[in-house]
Structure 1
Amino acid sequence: MVDLNADLGEGYGTWTLGDDAAMLAVVTSANIACGFHAGDPATLLRTCREAVATNVRIGAQVGYHDLVGFGRRFVDVTAEDLTADVIYQIGALDGLARAAGGRVSYVKPHGALYNTIVRHEAQAQAVVDAVTAYDASLPVLGLPGSEFLRRAETAGLRAVPEAFADRAYTPEGTLVSRREPGAVLHDVDEVARRVLQLVTDRTVTAVDGSEVVVDAASVCLHGDTPAAVDMALAVRELLQRHGIEPAPFA
């Protein structure tokens, strides 16, 4: 079994992004925005309700306070402020989730924050401190081998390693920057085969052709990429044809 997660609830006001309802019919975990990088209260409440209705687990996707940049720009925020920001975001989404009949059951950083805390010690610790302060029983998703997951484990949090279906990897096992060509994959069949390889062999082919070990318990299917729903369906169907049933990480 493998968990399939997607970033959802990323519309804002009259601006919509992706087909959340269709993705919720495919994935097993929903990383729902918390209003800092995307998502307004009405959108987030609706997404939480849809997740509860489809029995999809709700995760808080916390990020930098950067609506204009969609949370994909580094912010040189102090550790104290970042901890407060993350607590605020988890609490806001958890309130909406509980009003919808569910709850936040894990935390996943978004965008630039996700990539920054692969190596940035102070910000990694700030996010760990926030989750610990809010609810130390919440698992956290992150890149395998990252500073964030290392510090999460040290703090007693459950660290869940994650892989990406539609993102290119460096030979070091990190994600190719979105500023680089080819950072995001668009071929539906290629993405599905890539996920099957990740799940069965625990490896992914890097941009230089080498095979990188990626031992992940969850695979992210971005909801905002072109043909996102087609990709998600292709991934799920290929896994099921090989006897692998998607299910939330234990």
Structure 2
Amino acid sequence: MSTLVGKTALVTGSSRGIGRAVAERLGREGARVAVHYRRDEAAAKDTVSAVEAAGGSAFAIQAELGVPNDAQTLWDAFDGHADTLDILVNNVGLEPGEFGIAATTPDGFDDVFATNVKAPFFVTQHALGRMRDGGRIVNISSTLTSHASAQPEYVTYAMAKSGLEILTSALAKQLGQRGITVNTVAPGLVETEPTKAKLFNEEARQFAASLVALGRLGQPEDVASAVAFLVSPDGGWVTGQYLDTSGGMLL
């Protein structure tokens, strides 16, 4: 059953990885999906084609996030294709290029916060005037906000992603009267291309999987399923929540 027929969704950073899986899933559920990309137009078009091949509808929009006027650029592109919004998934993220407090520079710190906190904040701000009552907002965080001591070198990333969780709580309260739900989804280790590059051999991969209660690494589709529930009619009574989608990592 297609639960999102007649809905329009925007998924930031959806040309690959978790964002692509979310875009494809929402498309299969009947939503018309705006596939946002930063630079890789070919990957975004491939995601659009995948959504359409599965019977859905999608269009690609480009905007660099984490730079001045990023939200306005994004929504100008969106407005060229659609005039209302029902679902916003703030998925785009930037991992640090510098690890640990000693190595982090002010510019590196600012880049991480600009992409992971400032961009979703103002993308959401601009979205609210376009979003219909009863809409859905999902912020993609990370279980590192709960387990920062497991990977302290990711301190700036964990700090930034924790800001999304505060945004979720505040907006859930503020937007409740409009019937708009706001939730956080927090993946653990997910087998995307960046993760595969880090787990460069089978031994490392098996060790990482051993940290997960369900005994395997997550797949982008696992996270997409959680998002699909939250934006569906069945998720309409869930707001202001943090949903761990790590398969029970570091329990």
Using structure 1 for the length normalisation, give the TM-score: 0.40
Q: TM-score, normalised by structure 2?
A: 0.40
More helix by share: 2
With CA pairs under 8 Å and 6+ residues apart, which has the higher RCO, 1 or 2?
Answer: 1
